[in-house]
Amino acid sequence: MKKFIPIITVLIFSFTLLYAGNTEFKKSQKEGVTEITAAQLHQMMENKKSFTLVNVHIPYTWEIPKTDLLIPYNEIMEYLNKLPAKDKKIVLYCRSDRMSTIAAEELADEGYSNIYNLKGGMKAWKAAGYELIDNQPSKTTRSSRK
């Protein structure tokens, strides 16, 4: 019996940490915002017409191919007219996901209900082996392209 006590203690402690970690994550997650991985976004790109891809990083560094809009994260509310309807799928990203998280939460607060945020941003995208492009000279910030 004495051999099982340390094992049981470790298991209880592990489950407690796991549960506490998941609870904290859920608290920080805004309703209407879903985090996605680079692999999930890459798969979504096969049907790119089903969503709008927005780079919110400032200053401009790189972008994921097929990005539709460049909107500075701190000006996202000023460019709602460039975004699709509040129920349409929008994927936001930045370099690390800090700026896109802020923009995603602001959009959720405004009533957008189908927001996706690239977890880890362009860093995660590149680390997964996917391409980033430098397309800045051909467009201006806040521009839309198709």
d(CA 107, CA 100): 10
Rounded distance, CA 118 to CA 34, Å?
9
User: pLDDT value at position 137?
Assistant: 55
Band (2; pLDDT cuts 50, 70, 90): low
Question: CATH code at 41?
Answer: 3.40.250.10
DSSP 90: E
The pTM score is 0.75
Do 52 and 76 belong to one domain? yes
Specify the pLDDT at position 10.
44
Burial class, 31, CB count within 10 angstroms (exposed 0-12 / middle 13-18 / buried 19+):
exposed
Domain limits at 62?
31-138
10 Å Cβ neighbour count for 124? 19
The per-residue pLDDT for range 9-25, each reduced to its tens digit, is: 444 444 433 443 433 33
Residue 145: inside a domain: no
Kindly report the average pLDDT of the chain as a whole number: 81
Please report whether residue 58 resides in a domain.
yes
The pLDDT of residue 140:
43
Domain total of the chain = 2
Neighbours of 145 (CB within 10 A): 11
pLDDT digits (tens, 9 = 90+) for 41-76: 999 999 889 999 999 999 998 999 999 999 999 999
CA 96 – CA 21 distance, rounded (Å): 21
